[in-house]
Amino acid sequence: MYQPTRDLAGEVCFRPNFFQTKARINYLIDEYLSPEELGDRLEDLPRQFENPQPRQWATINWQDINPEQVVGLELDVFLSIIKGALDTEAPIRDYTQTSRQYLEPIHPTMAKFVGGEINKDGKIIELGLWEKEERLHTPALAKIYQQLTNQKIIPQLRTAKSYQAWENPYQDLYKHGLHRVATEYSAACLYLWLMSHTTGTIQEILAELLKDEVNHLVKFWGMGMWLYPHGAKHLIQYLLSQIHTILPISCEVSLQSQLNLNERGGEETSPCPIKLLKSTFQRMMSALDWQSWSILSRGELIYTFIWVLKLMWHWSSQLTPEYLQSCCATPEFFGE
């Protein structure tokens, strides 16, 4: 009797069409971004403020990585995406320190969560949890690349945007936070889509990266909802505008109406206009050499972006201020 092979994304199809890959993407979304999982990741914040513990990875048999584990995607395309992802993950130290500086005047405990502790001379005396988890990503991607090519790979030296005070700390953090959420969201979508095109050990490694990105996305998103209660609709519009920057003009459908952004009703003012923000997505997609991808691959990733966004929007629209307060507030907010 025919027994389909199954993996972390459901049924494995070695020459998948769009609908088979779509089924794998949906399966992964249900598994890794279920409402229970998202709630769990947000409710984990107070515990991590109190006693930060990096998430443990499953045991990985790195030697088992092989080209047959890439499914329905040319190996050279897969490798160039891994290389691009590696370039966007680094330099994590700069990213965490910039975020720490923006957060410090507004939420010192969250600042410590992302960027650790600094002494009077500006030296890091303790790493932030976000950095401890994210810094495993670049070596993991490099290892996949090396195992598949027998070549060492070094990430391109890029400089992350440094901290700059513009208006006031609250507004500055808002703009910075939009970029951060967009980066975690796009990384989560990319790794989820790559999982739909892999199996075996490569897929297991990507699952670890996906879990971290979802964890960080949820924590940053929830914190944003709590600090900027009127920013929810604006965040979605911002992410949609990011997706629009990578769509061919002819495909520009009204994503906004698809997501039914008016479902909450009422007026929501945005703390800053979208057009002031440069495209986080365009930078990432050019690192991934997006223009060279097949129409099918681009369509699959855009499908992932939209479905994950829809799910996040639906989830976050149900979070009450009291619930967010219980997850995000720390004693300093009550004057203790």
* Residues at the site binding Fe ion, with contacts judged by CB under 5 A: 89, 134, 137, 184, 187, 213
Characterize the bridge pairing of strands 10-11 and 6-7: antiparallel
How many residues does this entry show for the chain?
336
- Which residue type sits at 239? L
Nearer to Fe ion, 140 or 148 (CB): 140
Q: How far is the CB of 137 from Fe ion (least distance, A)?
A: 4
Q: How far is the CB of 309 from Fe ion (least distance, A)?
A: 17
CA-based nearest residue to 327, from 29, 48, 30: 48
What is d(CA 323, CA 317) in angstroms, rounded to the nearest whole number? 12
Report the chain's terminal Cα–Cα distance, integer Å: 66
Nearer to Fe ion, 187 or 239 (CB): 187
What is d(CA 18, CA 26) in angstroms, rounded to the nearest whole number? 12
Q: How far is the CB of 188 from Fe ion (least distance, A)?
A: 8
**Rg from Cα positions in the chain:** 20
Q: Angle CA(97)–CA(192)–CA(284) in degrees, nearest 5?
A: 50
The residue assigned the tokens 């965490």 is: 96
Nearer to Fe ion, 136 or 277 (CB): 136
What is d(CA 9, CA 32) in angstroms, rounded to the nearest whole number? 10
Nearer to Fe ion, 186 or 201 (CB): 186
Q: Taking the alpha carbons of 182, 108, 212, 134 in that order, is the dihedral positive or negative?
A: positive
Q: How far is the CB of 89 from Fe ion (least distance, A)?
A: 5
Q: Which two structure tokens, joined as six digits, stand for 246? A: 């990578």
Residue 11, SS3 per DSSP: strand
Nearer to Fe ion, 89 or 204 (CB): 89
Nearer to Fe ion, 131 or 184 (CB): 184
Q: How far is the CB of 184 from Fe ion (least distance, A)?
A: 5
Does residue 327 contact residue 222 with C-beta atoms inside 8 Å? yes
Element (H, E) at 10: strand 10-11
Q: How far is the CB of 154 from Fe ion (least distance, A)?
A: 18
Nearer to Fe ion, 137 or 234 (CB): 137
Q: Which residue minimizes CB distance to Fe ion?
A: 137
Q: How far is the CB of 90 from Fe ion (least distance, A)?
A: 10
